[in-house]
Amino acid sequence: MRLGMVIDLKRCMACYGCQISCKAEHGTPPGVFFARVLKREEGKYPTARQIFLPVLCNHCDDAPCVDVCPTEASHYAENGIVDIDADLCVGCRTCMMACPYTNRYFNGEPLNYFGEAGPTPYEQARTERHQENVVMKCNFCRSRLDEGLDPACVNNCPAKARIFGDLDDPNSEVTQLIKDRSGFTLHPEAGTGPNVYYLAP
């Protein structure tokens, strides 16, 4: 089994539901979003339009972040998921430089949303949950997968633009969508073998 995700750009309306649900699920620090929605405008009036591109860790088959990690903190977990063992991470950030998708974050000096007022109870729980001076990123919500649930970003997408499943199963919905609608990956020239696919709008 090799888990992956398909994102239908025709359905995405940039509501940020994936981004907010991911932040709520993982309790990430200010400015850290494992799931992001990038926006840009193309064309000229009167035919200008906005393009939305949801991004996250691509959980590559040949992940450069895993190859360069000196402590094996970045590793392949079960089902093809690329994960980080915080206990082994020394915060060298080599993996961040190696990732062609810029989807890793360094959890350095603790930050609070309310500055000098100190951490809220939610932020205090986050501090206890995430180690400092280590790299962090999306892990397809492995704790949810263990409970038989989809990742938070998939579960909370109101437009059903995200589909999650087994890329090795020729009959799975993700595999069929990639085949029928010519699914593509970002930066194929990098040769990393991403497991997040996109369907053209």
pLDDT at 5: 98
| Residues sharing a CB contact under 8 Å with residue 156, sequence separation 6 or more, in sequence order | 17, 18, 20, 21
Q: Which residue ranges make up each domain of the chain?
A: 3-199
Q: Which CATH class is domain 3-199?
A: alpha beta
pLDDT in tens, 54-106: 999 999 999 999 999 999 999 999 888 999 999 999 999 999 999 999 999 99
pLDDT in tens, 161-173: 999 999 999 999 9
CA Rg, the chain, in Å?
A: 17
